[in-house]
Amino acid sequence: MLTTLPNLLNSKNQLKALLETALKAEGEIDRSAASDAVYDWIDQLHQQLTSDHLAFSRLQLENEELEVELADTRDWEVEEKNYTLHRLKTGSYVYCRVTPTHNAISDYYLCATCFMNKVKSILQPVHKAFECHVCNSSIQGLPLPKPTIEML
């Protein structure tokens, strides 16, 4: 856990008390005990700063990953508007690229399952079906006709 401001203030007050005790110490034994207490405090502070540094580094890395994920999500939100769900004559559903006027412009279909997972996977025709090479799903379909859009 990262050091909080109240913890820092408490830590400063502990150091101040330790130093005051060390300055008032009389005799070798008292000075040695006070000195040991200050060194222990410094050692604990060093450990806390090291821990804070590691936690901060992890948070920085996580933040960078989240920024990339956010940018990808924003890109996907723009890209997915170029596609619409399309029902094949067999009743299977695929995604198809469209123009703003909803006229089909692509001669390929995308896997609906992958599309919902934000992956564009072009379905490959195999006999009278389409196969997705990403999720290995098989979709009943006929050979690719000129796509027509049936708005859902």
Q: Which residues contact Zn ion by CB under 5 A?
A: 111, 113-114, 121, 132, 134-135
Nearer to Zn ion, 94 or 114 (CB): 114
C-alpha 114: how far from chain center: 19
Output the smallest distance, CB 123 to Zn ion, in A.
8
Output the smallest distance, CB 119 to Zn ion, in A.
7
Nearer to Zn ion, 30 or 79 (CB): 79
Output the smallest distance, CB 140 to Zn ion, in A.
14
Output the smallest distance, CB 6 to Zn ion, in A.
52
Nearer to Zn ion, 139 or 149 (CB): 139
Nearer to Zn ion, 92 or 121 (CB): 121
HEC secondary structure over the chain: CCCCHHHHHHHHHHHHHHHHHHHHCCCHHHHHHHHHHHHHHHHHHHHHHHHHHHHHHHHHHHHHHHHHHHHHHHHHHHHHHHEEEEECCCCCEEEEEECCCCCECCCCCEEHHHHHCCCCCECEEECCEEECCCCCCEEECCCCCCCCCCCC
Output the smallest distance, CB 54 to Zn ion, in A.
40
Nearer to Zn ion, 84 or 113 (CB): 113
